Amino acid sequence: MVEASRRHGRWSWRRMHSVAAGPTCMSDVLTTAPSETELEEGGARRLLAAVDELSEHASHLKRRREQLTASLPELSQNRADTYRLNSDALTLGRTGATYQDPQKMAQLGEAEVTADDAMRGAQLEIRQLNKEIGEIKRSSDGAFGWDAGRRVRHPRADQ
């Protein structure tokens, strides 16, 4: 079939094998192409760099979570104290036992709201950090096929 096509002039041998950049020497190809081991080493270096970056990010998130967890008792006590002060002032104001300055009452109410917001904000941030840390752990376990908790190799899906 090739010979018949060539004889009838359907395609030109010269047109099919011309290279726009000129001839290429095999020595050029052999010296410029990276070897298989170089490619594997480059991939391993990139993988290790990604793992280091992930573990560094996870440790940063864990440190932040520890800081917030350590601040929770103080925030909780502050919230309880401001609630108690505001509640007592409101009760005294309702009974008429003592005169309460309206500006001071507003400040006590704002302090209670602020303390409550700080406590809720810390709790929300801890939940978000736990979620991010869990996602990092799941992504790193899945990437390498290992369950770090059990040290068991998971079979790959393509096998």
Q: What is the pLDDT of residues 36-50, one digit of tens each?
A: 677 677 778 888 888
Contact (Cβ atoms closer than 8 angstroms) between residue 82 and residue 108: yes
Average pLDDT over residues 8-17: 51
State if pTM tops 0.75: no
Please state which of the ranges 38-47, 110-119, 127-136 shows the lowest mean pLDDT. Answer: 38-47
DSSP 50: H
Average pLDDT over residues 139-143: 62
Map tokens 């393509």 to a residue. Answer: 158
Examine residue 82 and state whether it is found in any structural domain, yes or no: yes
Examine residue 40 and state whether it is found in any structural domain, yes or no: no
Examine residue 102 and state whether it is found in any structural domain, yes or no: yes
Examine residue 15 and state whether it is found in any structural domain, yes or no: no
Examine residue 110 and state whether it is found in any structural domain, yes or no: yes
pLDDT of residue 29: 47
Examine residue 38 and state whether it is found in any structural domain, yes or no: no
Most confident of 29-43, 84-98, 132-146: 84-98
Q: Residue 96 is which amino acid?
A: G
Examine residue 75 and state whether it is found in any structural domain, yes or no: yes
Looking at the structure of the chain, the number of domains it has is 1
pLDDT of residue 92: 86
Percent of the chain with pLDDT over 90: 34
Quote the domain boundaries for residue 83. 57-142
